[in-house]
Structure 1
């Protein structure tokens, strides 16, 4: 288990802390759910009793609570141990398509702006990389936050299903 450190206000939105919160929520879910097979055939849909507390409504196409439980554990494993080979190969292929399309776009833009010096082009590419990084970092933090809420919600829902909804909340 990862060590939980207290967060300063500046660190609250760090990627490292977002990953730790998610891993902690999934670990809590995993420790609470002693009989995962009880989640089979339990639909994800639930009425939102407490607005803003997160619910599993957004993932109704994923199947039952058991499949979502497995998905959350799989994502935790990918964060802790790295992405599995088959998934990495598939993502790399998709990434190569993006790189090719990005290269062709930058080639066409560099042809049209051939007056730029190579140092200006490198500076522009570095700025573009920084923007891409910020975009993806923000997106990853948002996804991790939603997944953390989903893990917490699934844990709460399991407790309700087995009749211990009021304990340990």
Structure 2
């Protein structure tokens, strides 16, 4: 994450006139191939997207990004239902030893299910975190390429 933020900050420091990106070719004169995610891309839009992603990563989603996501995740944003205590109709006395062992078995099964669910959540988190790292690495490479390409363009026009 740190490399991505540094790459985007470097890109911002290099690209002094972002609108100039609209007129730039993607390929450079040295023959280096652009990163795959930059092919067939408007450099100006990509520049803005990189800055937006960096800001969301550092400060959380913006109001515009949140409103775009709300229809998809509306169910996730609803407050959880409130639980109210209900008086029990069951007797407080023992109903037999078999029900006690049944409840013990149920609690062990519930604990095992909870552990399996926790392990599954941890594995899913690791999987998505690895994906996030891979994407941030690609975006950092793209920001570095865009900054170098812009600098080449500025240097060529200064001659």
TM-score higher than 0.5: yes
Instruction: Specify whether residues 93 and 27 from structure 1 end up closer, same or farther in structure 2 by C-alpha distance, changes over 3 A only.
Output: same
Matched, 1:40 2:22: yes
Runs ≥4 residues deviating over 6 A: none
Gaps in structure 2 of 5+ consecutive residues: 77-105
1:95 Cα deviation from its structure 2 partner: 4.8
Structure with the larger RCO, 1 or 2 (CA within 8 Å, 6+ apart): 2
Counterpart of 2:11 (choices 29, 32, 52) is 29
Gaps in structure 1 of 5+ consecutive residues: 1-18, 99-113, 165-169
Matched, 1:145 2:137: yes
- TM-score using structure 2 length: 0.67
Partner in structure 1 of residue 54 of structure 2: 76
The CA distance in 1 between the partners of 2:140 and 2:31, in whole Å, is: 19
For this pair of structures, how many residues does the alignment match? 127
Matched, 1:85 2:63: yes
- TM-score using structure 1 length: 0.63
On the 8 A contact 1:45/1:60 being kept in 2, the answer is no
Quick check: which has more Rg, 1 or 2?
2
